[in-house]
A and B are shown apart, each in its own frame.
Chain A
Amino acid sequence: NAGVTQTPKFQVLKTGQSMTLQCAQDMNHEYMSWYRQDPGMGLRLIHYSVGAGITDQGEVPNGYNVSRSTTEDFPLRLLSAAPSQTSVYFCASSYFGTLNTEAFFGQGTRLTVV
Chain B
Amino acid sequence: KNEVEQSPQNLTAQEGEFITINCSYSVGISALHWLQQHPGGGIVSLFMLSSGKKKHGRLIATINIQEKHSSLHITASHPRDSAVYICAVIKLFKSSTNTGNQFYFGTGTSLTVIP
Residues of A within 8 A of B (CB): 31, 33, 35, 40-43, 45, 48, 50, 54, 56, 90, 92, 94, 96-108
Q: Give how many B residues have a beta carbon under 8 Å from the other chain's beta carbons.
A: 28
Q: Which of B71-115 contact A (CB under 8 A)?
A: 86, 88, 90, 95, 97-103, 105-108
CA distance A56 to B94 in the complex (A): 12
Min Cβ gap A40→B in Å is: 6
Report yes or no: A107 in contact with B42, Cβ–Cβ below 8 A: yes
In the complex with contacts A40-B107, A43-B86, A54-B97, A100-B42 CB distance below 8 A: no
B49 → chain A closest CB, angstroms: 9
Instruction: Give A106's nearest chain B residue, CB to CB.
Output: B42
Q: Is the CB of A98 within 8 A of B101?
A: yes
Known: A42-B108, A56-B98. A100 touches B43 (CB 8 A): no
Question: Which of A35, A42, A102 touches B33 (beta carbons < 8 Å)?
Answer: A102
Residue from B48, B97, B107 within 8 A of A102 (CB atoms): B48
Across the interface, do B30 and A108 meet the contact criterion of CB distance under 8 Å? no
What is the count of residue pairs linking A and B with beta-carbon distances less than 8 angstroms? 70
* Contact of A105 with B43 at beta-carbon distance under 8 Å, contacts A50-B98, A54-B97, A100-B31 already known: yes
Most chain B beta carbons < 10 A, residue from A42, A102, A105: A42
The answer, yes or no, to whether B50 is at the interface (CB within 8 Å) is yes
- Cβ contact within 8 Å between A41 and B42: no
Residues of B within 8 A of A94 (CB): 101, 103
